[in-house]
């Protein structure tokens, strides 16, 4: 099967590149016209279909955007562009319960070379700092025999944890991020894979600490991951995470393609999974559009 993200037609490629430049200049009409020309030569090229959908959305053509987003999904059912989520954002489909694995993998594979610098400098990211502070608030003397860093990225959370963990394991969907984590040299073991599947493969009670810094923003419905966390935690184990939050109920997909969860939803799902909240405080972990993104930091214990 041909790669839906690749295109062998050089003329289509040139037209796509021109359209992207037009979009950067805000000339969405020119972008849409040139993308339509590119798609005459490569009608199932997912990136061009997705870019056309975005251009039509900018032009106020919701139905045309929905048509192109749906065509993107047909061309690439794995949904590496995140078209299903964009359909939900324009009101043309139900909201997903999680972002597609292919989308998250593609996003972070491309992000890996500048990940740490962008997080800490542009976004003022402080997720690891918040998690360490919350762990200390419960017991600043506790050390952990075996810890699992979900969505370990380039290793920032691992670096913060290393001094208090005997064995530290990291898992991430992105192979490029795992490569950056290896460069950090703070993990005893690293694995490329889905965080829920990784948890479910572990022995019951395998870890006395599991952390998820800036991970739940890519997962809407929390029942699967919290259930898998509870299963993988030792009876006295802790789970610590950051969450982007807002008032209200449940969760929703925000304009930034990240999920936000209500405090009540997070606490209710944690409790239902068998995780007893120990600390839950309001705290922003990153900035978006130069504003602090409201959030929570939670530490809970199994049982």
Q: In 3D, which of 10, 38, 11 has the Cα closest to residue 23?
A: 38
Give the predicted TM-score (pTM) of the model. Answer: 0.93
pLDDT in tens, 44-66: 999 999 999 999 999 999 999 99
Residues 18 and 151 placed together within one structural domain of the fold: no
Q: What is the pLDDT of residue 2?
A: 66
Is residue 4 one of the residues assigned to a domain? no
Q: In 3D, which of 83, 167, 111, 130 has the Cα closest to residue 241?
A: 130
Residues 179 and 67 placed together within one structural domain of the fold: no
Residues 276 and 207 placed together within one structural domain of the fold: yes
Residues 127 and 64 placed together within one structural domain of the fold: no
Measure the CA–CA gap between 67 and 63, rounded to whole angstroms. Answer: 6
Residues 179 and 64 placed together within one structural domain of the fold: no
Is residue 103 one of the residues assigned to a domain? no
pLDDT in tens, 153-178: 999 999 999 999 999 999 999 999 99
Q: What are phi and psi of 272, to 5 degrees?
A: -65, -30
Percent over 90 (pLDDT), the chain: 91
Residues 232 and 263 placed together within one structural domain of the fold: yes
Distance from CA of residue 78 to its chain's centroid? 16
Largest CA distance in the chain: 64
C-alpha to C-alpha distances, 12 to 16, 22, 36, 37, 129, nearest whole angstrom: 6, 15, 10, 8, 46
Residues 89 and 197 placed together within one structural domain of the fold: no
Is residue 210 one of the residues assigned to a domain? yes
Residues 16 and 66 placed together within one structural domain of the fold: yes
DSSP letter, residue 193: S
Is residue 102 one of the residues assigned to a domain? no
Buried b (16+ CB within 10 A) or exposed e, 251-275: bebeeebbbbbbbebbbebbeebbb
Q: Which residues pair with 144 in a beta bridge?
A: 165
Contact 190, 181 (CB under 8 A): yes
pLDDT surpasses 70 at 105: yes
Measure the CA–CA gap between 222 and 98, rounded to whole angstroms. Answer: 9
Arithmetic mean of pLDDT over the chain: 95
Is residue 3 one of the residues assigned to a domain? no
Residues 49 and 195 placed together within one structural domain of the fold: no
Measure the CA–CA gap between 296 and 283, rounded to whole angstroms. Answer: 5
Which token pair is 236? 């006295």
Residues 171 and 90 placed together within one structural domain of the fold: no
Measure the CA–CA gap between 17 and 248, rounded to whole angstroms. Answer: 42
Range of the domain at 255: 112-302
pLDDT in tens, 215-247: 999 999 999 999 999 999 999 999 999 999 999
The total number of structural domains in the chain stands at 2
């Amino acid at each position: 099967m041909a790669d839906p993200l690749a295109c062998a037609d050089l003329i289509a490629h040139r037209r796509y590149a021109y359209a992207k430049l037009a979009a950067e200049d805000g000339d969405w009409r020119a972008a849409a016209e040139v993308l339509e020309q590119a798609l005459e030569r490569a009608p199932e090229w997912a990136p061009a279909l997705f870019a056309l959908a975005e251009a039509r959305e900018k032009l106020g053509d919701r139905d045309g955007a929905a048509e192109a987003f749906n065509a993107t999904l047909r061309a690439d059912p794995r949904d590496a562009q995140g078209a299903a989520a964009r359909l939900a954002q324009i009101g043309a489909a139900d909201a997903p319960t999680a972002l597609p694995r292919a989308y998250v993998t593609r996003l972070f594979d491309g992000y890996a070379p500048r990940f740490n610098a962008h997080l800490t400098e542009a976004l003022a990211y402080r997720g690891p700092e918040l998690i360490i502070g919350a762990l200390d608030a419960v017991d600043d003397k506790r050390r952990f025999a075996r810890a699992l860093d979900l969505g370990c990225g380039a290793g920032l959370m691992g670096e913060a944890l290393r001094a208090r963990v005997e064995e530290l394991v990291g898992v991430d969907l992105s192979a490029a991020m795992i490569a950056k984590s290896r460069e950090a040299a703070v993990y005893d073991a690293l694995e490329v894979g889905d965080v829920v599947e990784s948890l479910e493969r572990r022995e019951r009670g395998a870890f006395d600490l599991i952390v998820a810094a800036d991970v739940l923003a890519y997962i809407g419905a929390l029942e699967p991951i919290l259930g898998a966390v509870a299963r993988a935690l030792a009876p006295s184990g802790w789970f610590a995470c950051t969450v982007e939050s807002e008032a209200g109920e449940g969760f929703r997909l925000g304009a930034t393609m990240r999920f936000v969860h209500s405090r009540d939803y997070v606490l209710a799902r944690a409790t239902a999974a068998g995780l007893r909240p120990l600390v839950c405080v309001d705290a922003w972990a990153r900035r978006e559009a130069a504003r602090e993104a409201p959030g929570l930091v939670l530490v809970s214990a199994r049982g």
